[in-house]
Each structure stands twice: as C-alpha cells, then as structure tokens.
A and B are shown apart, each in its own frame.
Chain A
C-alpha cells in the first residue's frame, strides 16, 4: 500500500474540487440563465473532455503547457516554475478535464429552479448576490453535491492525463491509480489489490452517501410544481 500516493491523490482531488466547484457555480449559473451568441458551441466545448480519450487531452495539455509552448514560457516567466511534471500542473489538468463533471449537474440544478421563484426573489428586493446565496444555493445544493462527488472520484481515478502530464514522480505526481499500475508492472499484486479495493470501497461509499443525502435534501422541499 503506497500511502504517499493515496495522500497525493486525496490532496489533488481536494484542491481540484475547491478550485473547480466555486467557478462551476458561477459559470453554470451564467449558462443556465443567459442566452448569448455561441452558447451551444461553448457548451459543446465544455463537454469535450467527456468524449476525448484521456491520453489525447494529456497530450494537448503537455504540448500546450510545456516549456516549449508560448503559454508554458509565459507561465514560467510569471511563476518561475513549469506546470508539466509538477503537482501544480496536475491541478490545472484535473480542473480542466473535470469541468463537464462539475458544470453539468450544477447547470441542470440551476435550470430546475422555476423562473417564477427567481422573479419573485428579485421583486422581493433581493440583490443578485442575495438571490444566489439565499435562494439559489440552497436549491441547487444536490446538484453541487453531485458535481463535487463526481469530480472528486474522477480525479482520484484519473490515469491517462496524469501520466501524460505529470509522469510518475513519487510524492509529486505519482497518484494512487498510477501506483496501482506500477505495482502491477512490478508483479506486486498484493499492494495493487489493496489499493484497488480502497478505491472501490471509497467509490461505493461516496456514491451511496451522496444519493441518500441528495434524496433527503431534495425530498425536504420537493420541486415546486410548474
């Protein structure tokens, strides 16, 4: 059992979720309520990570953010370090590939709030921010929870992108799924089995918890009839 890899995976998942979810809430709200030119293109672009093979995404990120690219050069100039083969690069990659997992459920949750409710909130004198935190956030909570769990679990299990982008540096970019792969390569099936079981149990527990939690939250006030 590679405890360092487990810790790294949990750290990566947590940071990704902390960065991604607040941004996804703002972005999803915009997508749910605003009409603008090119909206369907933007929505399609957000979905791309769902259909592209992880290695392809990893390749583009490696090339796009590597020290050879202008973006990579710019990042080195600004921060003094490069993203590829570094933990910070894994965070950037995880955030990017998990956008659809965060945006989809949250956007659907925003869309499920009846227009009447949002109109009434504005007409009750609430500012847009007050509407967001007093009315919308409590109502989209199950969607946020779903997005959070999906992203967390997805980062935990991500393999292709991590390997392409971060390589396999212990303590820096060697996550649990890569550790499992390593163990199998080294015929260490015992630790591979333990780590796989940890991931499996984690996935089942988290999904069961979210399902029951969101059912409880959703069942409390129900969706008002339109």
Chain B
C-alpha cells in the first residue's frame, strides 16, 4: 500500500543526555517490538527513527534511502512516517475527520476528505464519530483515530509508542485483534514500543530488548524468552528461576550437558561452549517446572528430579505462587501452580516434595 516498500535498518548510538545503543533491522511487513522498562530509552529510539531526535552517531536507512548518517539528517516530514505517540497526539481543536485530513497535505485537496472517511470506516469509526472532537471520544476511539491518521498517509514506516497503555483492558484486547488483523494487510515495517512483554509475544515478529539504553538482545520473541542471552535478559523477560551450577559431564552425541545443582545432577541441552568444570548460570521458565508428574510417579527421561522444601505459599486468585528451596542451593525456586492442583497435591509451607524440571527448557546463560 505504501508508494514503495523497503526494509528499515537502524544503528544508533547516543552518549550524552540519554545513553542509547541499538542495532537492528525491520523487514517490510514485519512488526518489531521494542521492549524494556520505563525510562530505558525506548521512546528516544522511536523518536530517532521518526526524525524527532538526533542520535550522536550511527545510520538509519530505509531501503536505499539514508535517513540519518554523519552528514544526513532527514526531517520527519521528509521521512514520510506514520507516528502514533503514547498519548496519541490528536489535535484537540480539530474533529476526528479533520485530524486525519490534516495529515494528508501530500494529496490533492479534493481527495483528502474521501481518503479520511475511508480510513475512519476502516478502523470502525463512523456514524457521527468523525464530527467529534478528541475530548469527546473514548480512549480506544482516540487511539483508532491516531492510527487511522498515521496510516492514511501511506507511510513508509509505522511507529507506535506504547499503543495500548492508555486504554482499558477490554479495549486493549480488542485493539490487539485489530492490530493483528491490520498486520496482515500492511506491507511496511512496523515498530512498536512497549513495556509489556506479553504484547511483544502476542503481536511481534521480532523484538529488541532495551534496558538502560543498552540493547540486550534482538530476535524472535519466543526465542528470546526461551533462550535469553544472559542473566540481565532473563531478568528483563521476567524469568525468576536463575541458578548456579557446575558442568560435570558432556554427552554431545546424546545432546546432553550434565549440571551439578546442589546435591543433584541434572540434564540440560548440550551447549558446546561449556566444558566440564565450568561454573555456569542457568534458567528455567515456569512452564518447565512440574509438580504433578512427580506426585503421580510419572518421571520420564526428559525430566530431572529435584528435592525441594516449600518455604512459602501465596494464593493469588486462581493460582498459587510457591517459593521453595533446594538443599545445597542458595537461590530459591519460584513456581506458579493452579490453585486446584496445589490443593490436590497438598502443597503447603514446610512440605518436602519433589519437582520435575523439563531438560529441554533448561537454558545455560552466557556469562556477563
């Protein structure tokens, strides 16, 4: 739908004011999520791509067009982007329709209104809503006007800053679906800033994890979650079960690296860079920890058994958060178990039990 479609390459450095360093590409038709805690430089990165901030150095290219380099700094107007700021940035004195028309200066005057109407219909805003001022629209409606305004320009790149943070949960769910549907139709690079990892997992093809201005990891969201590069990434991804271990044996032909964890020896995926004797840190996501399989005596080959004593039990709605300790291990084990299962298994404070760790999901982290 854009006049010409290309990939976006971005490599930026900034050393003053807000430190920032990132290097990634977004293919046409792909959604890239920029994920990280607040104040980590995500919005600054987006503003650099938009041409609103100037990086200290680096290069931003859209196809064969250079948007930013040592000598070149194209303005937002020249980049022809679609930008939806965090609070939508609707012009408060213009109604929904006029807001979109205002973004269509590149079209002949006679076509603007029809184009704006078409886009409002496309985001399900018709029947009286086009005449309303932004203050008279709900959060979700405002967001859709802003999205329509950005897309009606047929932008080269679509930039979304925390697109779902200012709307209620119900609207957010609906907007997820709409964005997912829109994604199928758009053939431009889309960059979405979010602090919510689940949004990245839900909507993005690639993700960039940024914390304190540093790009920690770049990849497919599910892979980043399953195989965080280092402990910092693992913590940013919300993984809480990070432990120390010693590599005791390797079996490349069976694809196993044996780890000594406290008193236990457990099997993990074979990683050639770790040799016997290495001290390592490893991580396992919540879905890799099982309580029921042990209790039922169904321990299979792909699971490791670990004896634990439960330290605390916290009921949160329909699930239970457990903290347990493993003998000989300083780090605690955190797990989330459905309430009915915890009751069935009699999981309570002080109970000694065993958990199964799925060896496929055990991931050895790079040392920092």
A residues near B (Cβ < 8 Å) are 114-127, 130, 134-135, 138-139, 220-226
Contact of B89 among A120, A138, A221, A222 (CB under 8 A): A120
Chain A residue numbers with a CB within 8 Å of B52 are 119, 122-123
A123/B83 in contact, CB under 8 A: yes
Given A224-B134, A224-B135, also A122-B91 (CB < 8 A): no
Instruction: Show 29 residue pairs from A and B whose CB-CB distance is below 8 angstroms, ordered by the A residue.
Output: A114-B89, A116-B85, A116-B89, A117-B89, A119-B76, A120-B89, A120-B90, A120-B146, A121-B89, A123-B76, A123-B83, A123-B159, A124-B103, A124-B153, A125-B77, A125-B106, A125-B153, A126-B77, A134-B102, A135-B91, A135-B102, A138-B93, A139-B93, A220-B93, A221-B133, A221-B134, A222-B92, A224-B87, A224-B92
CB of B80 to closest CB in A, whole Å:
7
Given A221-B135, A224-B135, also A123-B92 (CB < 8 A): no
Task: Give complex CA distance A223, B87 in Å.
Answer: 12
B135/A222 in contact, CB under 8 A: yes
Contact of B83 among A120, A130, A134, A221 (CB under 8 A): A120
Listed residue (A114, A118, A221) with the most chain B CB atoms within 10 angstroms of its CB:
A221
Interface size (B, Cβ < 8 Å)? Answer: 32
Binding site secondary structure of chain B? loop
User: Is B290 close to A, CB under 8 A?
Assistant: no
Task: Give complex CA distance A59, B112 in Å.
Answer: 59
Task: Give complex CA distance A116, B92 in Å.
Answer: 11
B103, closest chain A residue (CB): A124
For residues 163 through 198 of chain B, which have their beta carbon under 8 Å from a beta carbon of chain A? none
CB of A132 to closest CB in B, whole Å:
13
Chain A residue numbers with a CB within 8 Å of B83 are 119-120, 123
Chain A residue numbers with a CB within 8 Å of B150 are 123
Q: Give 8 new A-B contacts, CB below 8 A, not counting A119-B47, A222-B92.
A: A116-B89, A117-B90, A119-B83, A124-B149, A126-B102, A130-B105, A221-B92, A222-B135
The 4 closest A-B pairs by CB, nearest first: A120-B89, A116-B89, A124-B103, A123-B83
CB of B54 to closest CB in A, whole Å:
13
Chain A residue numbers with a CB within 8 Å of B75 are 122
B79, closest chain A residue (CB): A123
Chain B residue numbers with a CB within 8 Å of A224 are 87, 90, 92, 134-135
User: Is B81 close to A, CB under 8 A?
Assistant: yes
Task: Give complex CA distance A126, B133 in Å.
Answer: 20
